């Protein structure tokens, strides 16, 4: 059950990273503040959230939720 939560956590972090990146692009294109933050702040948020999601995803192995097979299986 613990792995199930970890899989959802990395998916949520990736989704938040994607949303932050899109908001950064919107702000940069219009040269405006989006939801109270400058586009550069949204880019940094996207970067940090994506980096935080990576070790969680890399730890996910054979949990069924992500459909990631064990090492050596294909």
CA distance 70 to 65: 13
Domain count, the chain: 1
In a domain, 68, yes or no: no
In a domain, 54, yes or no: yes
Average pLDDT, stretch 37-60? Answer: 83
In a domain, 40, yes or no: yes
Question: pLDDT tens, 25-46?
Answer: 988 888 887 777 788 888 999 9
CA distance 23 to 35: 9
In a domain, 70, yes or no: no
> Residue 7: which of 54, 72, 60 has the closest Cα?
60
pLDDT surpasses 60 at 4: yes
In a domain, 23, yes or no: yes
Domain with 36 in it: 2-59
In a domain, 53, yes or no: yes
**Tokens 């959230």 found at:** 49
pLDDT surpasses 70 at 54: yes
């Amino acid at each position: 059950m613990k792995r199930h939560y970890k899989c959802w956590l990395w998916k949520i972090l990736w989704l938040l990273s994607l949303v932050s990146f899109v908001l950064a692009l919107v702000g940069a294109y219009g040269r405006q503040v989006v939801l109270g933050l400058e586009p550069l702040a949204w880019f940094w948020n996207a970067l940090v959230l994506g980096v935080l999601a990576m070790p969680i995803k890399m730890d996910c192995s054979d949990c069924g939720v992500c459909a990631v097979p064990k090492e050596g299986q294909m």
